[in-house]
Structures are given as C-alpha cells and as structure tokens.
Amino acid sequence: MNILLTMIFAVNLSLTSGIETRFYKNDGVRLIEETDLNAWIGNFALGLNYSLFHPETSMAFQRRLGILKGFIETHNDNVLLRVGTAYTTFGRGLLLYAARDDVLKMDRFVNGLYLEVSKGAALLKGIGGISKLYIDHKLQEDSTNLIIGADATVNVIEGAQLGGSLLEARDVKGFKTNYYSVRTDIAGKNLAFYFEFGARTGYNKTILAEKNGYADYLSVSYSTESFGVVAEFRDYWLFGKEYGIPPTLNKSGIYLNNAMDERAFALTLNLEPIDFYTIGLNLSKLYSTGYFGPKSELKEINFQNQFQGESRFAELDLNYLKITGGNVAIGVSRREEIDPQLDFGLRNSGIEWELFLRNRKRDDDGVKYTDRDVALTLGFPGNYDITFTIQDRSGDLSDKWSNIEFKGQIFDNFSLILTVGSMRGDFVCSGGICRYEPEFNGVILKAVIVF
C-alpha cells in the first residue's frame, strides 16, 4: 500500500485545454475543443488528446467527438519507444513532415509505433502506422494510408553529418509508393552547407499511374555577427508532397503545382549596420517547365527594415508578388500585388501602444482592388490587450470589415481571447500548404486552461 501511494504521488501531470466557439451573425455555430492530458513518472509517460469538432455546416462526416490521439512511451539514455501518436520529421521534410502548424491550423501525425535510438554519433528513427492529416480541423482524404519509414543521421566529424531516409506508403486500394533520400549537413564557424536528394518509385496518385519522381534541395549560407546571406535552390520533378512538405523557397509559402514540377531559386540577406537596426532582403523565383500541368511562374521580393529600442520599435516591410499561371496554387491565373506594411509601437508608463498599417494593391486577372488595414493595440499591465481593427477594400471589389479583440491572462492558468465584429477572408499559406479562411461576421471566443 505504501509503495502504491508513493508511486501515485510521484506521478507528474499536465493538462492543457483549449476551446474556440464561433457564433456567426447569419446563423450557425462552430465549436472546437481540444484537451491534452499527459502523465509521466521516471522513464515512463502517457498522453491522451480529447477532441471535439462541431462544424457550422451539415458535413456530419467531419464531426468529431472523443479520443483523437494518445500514446504510451518509455525511454532511457539511448532508446525511446512510443506506441500511439507520434510527430517527427525526416531531414528538411522532403519525405516526411509530421507536425503541427498553428498558423495554417494543420495537424499531421502518425498513429502507430515510433522508435528512436541514439548511440554515440548516430541517431536512428523508425516509424510505422496510419498517417493522419487535419487542415482547419477537417480530416483530409488521404488520411487512411499506412506508412513505414526510417531515418538515420551520423556525425562523421565535428560539424559534418550524413543522413538518409526510407519511406513506404500503401493506400486502402493496395497501391504502393516508395520514397528514398540522402543528405549531407556541414556547418563551420561562418559557412554552412546542406544538400538533400530524394526519389520516389511506384504509384503516383496525382497522375494515377506508376511513375518515378525526384527532388533535390540545396542551401549554402555565410554569416557573421552583423551580416548573413543564404542562397537556396530546389528542383521537384513528379515528386509531390503526400507525406512531406518540401521547402517552398518563398515567403508566401506557395507551391505552384503541389511540388510536382517546380524549380526555384532564393537569396536572403540580413544586415545589422548599427545596434537596434536590422535590414532584411529576400528574393525568390519559382517556375514550372510545363511537363506536368501548364507553365507557371512566381516572383517575390521582400524588403524589411526593423528598429528595436528599449521603449519603442518600428518595422517597415515592402512586399512584391507576381504569379502567372497560378490556377493550381491560388485559383487565379495571374496575380500581381504590392504590399507595404508599417508596424510601430512604444511603451510609456506601463502602457504599450502598437499601430499597424497596410495598403495592399492587387490585380487578379484584371480585377484590381486595394486592401487597407488599420489596427491599434493597447497593452495594459497584467497582460491585457485590446485591439481595434478596421479593414477596407476598394476598386473593382469593395467591402468593409471592423472588429474589436480583447486578449487577457485572466488567471495564472487561464487565458481568454474575445473577438467581436467582422474580418476579411483570404488565403493562408504556410510551408506550401494553403487554405482559404473565409470572411467572418459574429463573435469568436477562445479560452485556454493550462495546469
């Protein structure tokens, strides 16, 4: 009995629960709730995720109520074994990228078995199970496939690594796809080099046939205390992004045709000419050869100026984007936009003021319009913020939106966000995956409890 009581008191527990409720002005309620419970004692751990999703539409098959994820895990200094839900990434994500992205509202994980073994200079990861993918809390169509994979990394000498990955995927119809990759990662005092080559064989569900595909990604960087430069190149030929998220090489996070036939170049510069002031410049170009789908091209320029002082900060961003043949990526053939943004803030007598201004001009297939945003945030002692936002669209398209948002840490373990009003809809992209966030008018209530 004493041993049992000792074990009970030795168990460590953590609980995180978040709920989001959207009340639509024109009728309809969306309810999202996730609760994570984790417990661990010594070298053992377990976790459960309870999920509730009640969409505002009649798509009953997307509704969810119950245990979505769970795991049991044991580990020592060299071995970790998990049964249940696992997250992991192979290399830079060419073959496998199982992770969460809160910006995109993406959750990709594997339900099955995960093994990690480390010994000296080597690390081996193995995973097998059913791949699951949720975007905006909606289960995607390819979320019933069985995958089995392994990834190995070896430190050859100090600062130099070699690695490789294998992945096999089978869908419910029995079609099989095999993925392979090799990589090298070399980092010195100022210079870094990374190269990864991937290949796939077997069934390609995009073209509905067996066809080989290839991918390569190269990054070379040089940095000092006040200067940094990164040059990147990638080439994807019939490779795709079924289970991985290969680098996009653009700030917008866009693939032209789902990484099936794309080449890209990118150059990033970072300067700090004086203390508290930094300059950033990013240039990128993507294009498809037309082998798979129509020819398309993306050009992007991002110029950033940032000042950070003790009581004030300012950031000026100038962004330019031009896409031709972008039907697959964004739903319009041609888009050209200029997007300047200004963010200014200061702190005075414990109150923080932040002003955000935006004036984005777009041309979508000859439809020209301008989006203007003005947002004022007041921050008060005790972690309380109030933000007033006005959005306006003028030109060939016109509309207006406005909202007020309250964000606060009510108690040490309880935070709350309340938004009342309307918000403009737009594409949200991250890491090559995009979704459309529709415009909203109503009330949004978010609450998070952490113990």
The mean per-residue pLDDT over the stretch 239-252 comes to: 91
Contact status, residue 177 vs residue 169, Cβ threshold 8 Å: yes
Q: 4 falls in which pLDDT band (50, 70, 90)? A: very low
Q: Please name the residue that has the structure tokens 């109503």.
A: 442
Is 60 exceeded by the pLDDT of residue 420? yes
Q: 147 falls in which pLDDT band (50, 70, 90)? A: very high
- Distance from C-alpha of 317 to C-alpha of 373, rounded to nearest angstrom: 14
CA 356 to centroid of chain Cα atoms: 23
Residue 5 pLDDT: 46
Determine the residue type at 56: E
- Distance from C-alpha of 424 to C-alpha of 370, rounded to nearest angstrom: 13
Share of residues in the chain with pLDDT > 70 (%): 96
Query: 348: buried, middle or exposed (CB in 10 Å: 19+, 13-18, 0-12)?
Result: exposed
The mean per-residue pLDDT over the stretch 96-124 comes to: 93
Please give the structure tokens belonging to residue 373.
């945003």
**C-alpha distances in angstroms, 6 versus 1, 11, 42, 43, 398?**
9, 9, 13, 16, 67
Residues with Cβ within 8 Å of 128's Cβ and at least 6 positions away in sequence, in order, are: 110, 112, 113, 146, 147, 148, 149
- Distance from C-alpha of 83 to C-alpha of 75, rounded to nearest angstrom: 12
In this predicted structure, which of 179-183, 320-324, 331-335 has the lowest mean pLDDT? 331-335
Is 50 exceeded by the pLDDT of residue 7? no
- Distance from C-alpha of 41 to C-alpha of 7, rounded to nearest angstrom: 8
Contact status, residue 86 vs residue 76, Cβ threshold 8 Å: no
**C-alpha distances in angstroms, 211 versus 176, 214, 256, 345, 371?**
12, 10, 20, 54, 43
Is 70 exceeded by the pLDDT of residue 403? yes
Is 80 exceeded by the pLDDT of residue 412? yes
Residue 5 φ/ψ, nearest 5 degrees: -65, -40
Please give the structure tokens belonging to residue 230.
């990164």
Domain residue spans of the chain: 1-66
Please give the structure tokens belonging to residue 166.
């294998």
Determine the residue type at 106: M
Contact status, residue 353 vs residue 380, Cβ threshold 8 Å: no
- Distance from C-alpha of 34 to C-alpha of 18, rounded to nearest angstrom: 5
Share of residues in the chain with pLDDT > 90 (%): 75
Is 90 exceeded by the pLDDT of residue 143? no
Is 50 exceeded by the pLDDT of residue 171? yes
Give which of 424, 418, 426 is closest to 443, Cα–Cα. 418
- Distance from C-alpha of 167 to C-alpha of 180, rounded to nearest angstrom: 7
Please give the structure tokens belonging to residue 401.
């939106």
Give which of 274, 269, 296, 244 is closest to 432, Cα–Cα. 244
Q: 142 falls in which pLDDT band (50, 70, 90)? A: confident
The mean per-residue pLDDT over the stretch 254-281 comes to: 94
Q: What is the largest CA-CA distance in the chain?
A: 77
Is 90 exceeded by the pLDDT of residue 173? no
Give which of 362, 257, 270, 265 is closest to 320, Cα–Cα. 362
- Distance from C-alpha of 387 to C-alpha of 384, rounded to nearest angstrom: 10
